[in-house]
A and B are shown apart, each in its own frame.
Chain A
């Protein structure tokens, strides 16, 4: 007997399917609300090689849904912490921890080592980047995403060349302002738990051929009503327009700009603007419990939901620069402040505190 007996005695699964899991190399993008259940179940099921890519650190507000982490992990890297936990549980699988955010620069090298990609990211720039790279590199993608009490799951790019990809469904990225994420609208921890578990189930079905996987289909699930809706996806001629022509073209694409993040500047531009306009203001719009904190620079901390209320404070600032964890909420703050101060220089810092050029890495 071994730890997989209960699944290989299932009629139709068998040792052959178990062997396929053992041979599989799966990359999980984001060890967050979706990534945690995906990782727990893939490791338990015996997927032989699991990569975990996440440059984020554990925050107190993550703990309602990111069940691999506890109070003792605050401030630690998510990929390394998740990997450490899984390695301690099982000796018979290989876990690769990549404590970085996926970017246009590292995506090709990271993807090349895996044969199935699972997207558990939390923003559109990453989701479109991952989709486009999967199309260009021919990798199947288990997609999952949540909004308030609803979730979506699909297997994209699962049939080779003529498969459906994310841009067939949504050719143009929405702006971050259009569709908020969990940090902004709230989420019960069990919802990404359910959707992430569905992603793990679909990955196992796809890898082994057990059952009918959601290839070229998208499932919608509503936690409050338990209603689900499954639709057959179709090819869309507009999808090709948005996908870079080659991996070289992808590497030169700015996905933050593609996703309507055009009001943004990078950290270097932000500091040069602050030098130029000494009366400028730098504002952290995250909640007080979010890490890492910016050190060595003068800034104010005003959470996004107080920006509107406090906007008069910045009436005389000649420049307002806003940052958050990943650049989503700060962009929203830009839109709010632009309404009060049309024409004022107001920018979000692209990628937020987690951006590759962030001062926290210097």
Chain B
């Protein structure tokens, strides 16, 4: 993976909505830019709640994305 890209991994319902578990995207500086891109590409995501982790640490609010980072999109599950 090029250092000028970010790797996105998706779980549960999010993977269903974006139709893949992994995406490689052009570098984006922060989570707000990333969300804007995802909402535009996959409008369905606007109606789904999920949390974001960058390099395995949960990100809260607008958070910078380091170059080459792995970003995870994590929805809640309710089943038991």
Contacts and interface: CB of A to CB of B under 8 A. Distances in A.
Contacts of B53: 231
Contact of A231 (B13, B56, B76, B77): B56
Contacts of B75: 147, 174, 179
B60 interface: yes
A245 B74 CA distance: 28
Interface in A249-268: none
Interface string B40-80: 00000001110101001111100000000000101111111
Q: Which of A32, A147, A182 has the most CB of B within 10 A?
A: A147
Given A150-B11, A234-B57, A170 B80 contact: no
Contacts, number: 100
Interface in A133-166: 144-148, 150-152
Interface stretch (A16-24, A68-76, A119-127, A274-282): A119-127
A110 B12 CA distance: 33
B13 A179 contact: yes
A231 B54 CA distance: 9
A30 interface: yes
A147 B60 contact: no
Contact of A234 (B11, B49, B58, B77): B58
B79 A182 contact: yes
A235 B60 contact: yes
B4 to A, nearest CB: 24
Given A150-B11, A174-B49, A220-B11, A232 B78 contact: no
B78 A124 contact: yes
A179 B76 contact: yes
22 contacts: A121-B80, A124-B78, A145-B80, A146-B77, A147-B78, A148-B12, A151-B77, A169-B76, A174-B49, A174-B75, A179-B12, A179-B48, A179-B78, A182-B80, A220-B11, A220-B74, A222-B11, A229-B56, A231-B74, A233-B58, A234-B58, A234-B59
9 nearest interchain CB pairs? A147-B77, A145-B77, A122-B80, A182-B79, A146-B79, A234-B58, A231-B53, A181-B79, A34-B80
